[in-house]
Amino acid sequence: MEYRIEHDSMGEVKVPADKLWGAQTQRSHENFEIGVNIETMPAEIVKAFGILKKAAALANAKLKPEKMTAEKLAAVSQACDEVISGQLMDNFPLVVWQTGSGTQSNMNANEVIANRGNQIAGKKLLHPNDDVNMSQSSNDTFPTAMHIAAVLMIEDRLIPACETLIATFKRLEEENEGIVKSGRTHLQDATPIKFSQEISGWRSSLERDVELLKLALAPLHELALGGTAVGTGLNAHPEFGRVVAGEVAALTGKAFVTAPNKFHALTSKDELVFAHGAIKALACDMMKIANDVRWLASGPRDGLGEIFIPENEPGSSIMPGKVNPTQCEAVTMVAVQVMGNDVAVGMAASQGNFELNVFMPVCVYNFLQSARLLSEAILSFNKNCAVGIKANKEKMHHNLHNSLMLVTALNPYIGYENAAKTAKKAFKDNISLKEACIELGFLTEEKFDEVFHPEQMV
């Protein structure tokens, strides 16, 4: 491998000749061989750095035009666009397990943008610290990147995924409006419910989760940029925070604003904890929905068997013909991962000491993994399972009319205790509720037929 010599304040460093990063990135690459090629800084953070670095250059061009000249701005902007598009992704090798402030990832962005900008300019025009990092510190850029990445992930991926599944459930509600089935509580038979009502519970849960996610988005739109090292804004123009937030908003089309208190913005991660709580709530509901679907589809002969779901792949290496609810299982495993990530996000957020949180990379890594996995799992579940759900009307009808809890309809006519006696006799003697009620002398056959209508109990 060919190398070139780069230098920083600590001296010279050998860097692969075909890479755009510089000395500080190389030092981190060598010093933190933890999770290499597996747990690298998320691509969403790299993109967020491209956005904030371009926004910073645009703001500096307005506030410090003598330092951020039009020539420098053009070079930085084009290099940032390439970072945002993902063209330069192989120049961001650093792992999550680095300094807790994300300093090396900030410098990785500075070095790549400076070196690529110099290639574009055809000369040594940009310095990573003096130009690309102008008016900034790792301490305000990394929390800014976290918020940008979180907002883009939730608004552009997670909420749309939810809305896709919500639309499917709305269609299923309409298609199954007239079907009545047995309800279940405590995994035991309960009073009847329309299948469309059961689906509406799934749909409404997701709609509420979207509402919670949108509530959590508001504080995530506040950006730490402008606080620099400890929140005082040292070395930045007094208006830099406001102006750069406006530039980020313009670049992303999102309602970003400058954080009103930069001391809070640098050290507290409460906004991410709150937002991940909404993500966890969604994971909990997806766990419940996926479990409902696989229970209802259980069988094909010895389970509930009240719905059919798509058969996507063989389910066993030894049992021919077996098909499993694999999409449901994937969703539930993702939900477990999200719940575990919630602990990591909360623990990381609790480590804000004095003027800085130093668990930011692990915090955002888990946050973005949760949102990304859940987005993809929901879309996969929708495409490969939910859209193909079909009611097994015959099995639903059989289970409904075999349910002892239909006896609840008799409460107004024979009372709770007599209804309980009727249900227990029917179960013990393996006879119908009608036969038990008549044998016990609580109702005549004619009266029973008059008042007993399971389809009207919904």
Q: 315 near 324, Cβ under 8 Å?
A: yes
Q: Among 171-180, 231-240, 311-320, 405-414, whose mean pLDDT is lowest?
A: 311-320
- Residue 182 CA to residue 195 CA, distance in Å, equals 9
- Residue 42 CA to residue 24 CA, distance in Å, equals 19
Q: 60 near 135, Cβ under 8 Å?
A: yes
pLDDT band at residue 1 using 50, 70 and 90 as cut-offs: confident
Q: What is the pLDDT of residue 366?
A: 98
pLDDT band at residue 372 using 50, 70 and 90 as cut-offs: very high
Answer whether CATH 3.10.20.90 is correct for domain 152-173+189-219+261-393. Answer: no
pLDDT digits (tens, 9 = 90+) for 60-115: 999 999 999 999 999 999 999 999 999 999 999 999 999 999 999 999 999 999 99
pLDDT digits (tens, 9 = 90+) for 179-235: 999 999 999 999 999 999 999 999 999 999 999 999 999 999 999 999 999 999 999
The pTM of the full predicted model, rounded to 2 decimals, is 0.93
Q: What is the pLDDT of residue 226?
A: 98
pLDDT digits (tens, 9 = 90+) for 259-293: 999 999 999 999 999 999 999 999 999 999 999 99
Q: What is the pLDDT of residue 90?
A: 96
Contacts for 402 with CB less than 8 Å, ≥ 6 apart: none
Active site residue 276: no
- Residue 19 CA to residue 16 CA, distance in Å, equals 6
Q: What is the pLDDT of residue 68?
A: 98
> Which numeric CATH code is attached to 13-134?
1.10.275.10
- For residues 374-392, average pLDDT: 97
Q: 367 near 347, Cβ under 8 Å?
A: no
- Where in the chain are the domains? 13-134, 152-173+189-219+261-393, 403-456
- For residues 27-38, average pLDDT: 87
Backbone angles phi, psi at 297, to 5 degrees: -90, 0
Asked if residue 321 has pLDDT above 90, the reply is no
Q: What is the pLDDT of residue 53?
A: 98
CB atoms closer than 10 angstroms to residue 198: 20
Asked if residue 35 has pLDDT above 90, the reply is no
Q: What is the pLDDT of residue 34?
A: 87
Q: Is 301 exposed, middle or buried (0-12, 13-18, 19+ CB in 10 A)?
A: exposed
Q: What is the pLDDT of residue 348?
A: 98
Label the pairing between strands 180-185 and 188-194.
Answer: antiparallel
Q: What is the pLDDT of residue 238?
A: 98
Asked if residue 36 has pLDDT above 90, the reply is no
pLDDT digits (tens, 9 = 90+) for 130-176: 999 999 999 999 999 999 999 999 999 999 999 999 999 999 999 99
Tokens of residue 167, six digits: 């639309």
Beta bridge partner(s), residue 87: none
Tokens of residue 144, six digits: 């800014």
Q: What is the pLDDT of residue 313?
A: 84
Domain 13-134 and domain 152-173+189-219+261-393, same fold? Reply is: no
**Catalytic hit among 7, 85, 204, 316:** 316
Give the rounded percent of residues in the chain with a pLDDT score beyond 90: 93
**Catalytic hit among 186, 264, 380, 432:** 186
Asked if residue 37 has pLDDT above 90, the reply is no
Active site residue 9: no
User: Between 1.10.510.10, 2.70.70.10, 1.10.40.30, 3.10.20.30, what CATH number should domain 403-456 receive?
Assistant: 1.10.40.30
Q: What is the pLDDT of residue 399?
A: 95
Q: What is the pLDDT of residue 316?
A: 84
Q: What is the pLDDT of residue 38?
A: 87
- Residue 445 CA to residue 227 CA, distance in Å, equals 81
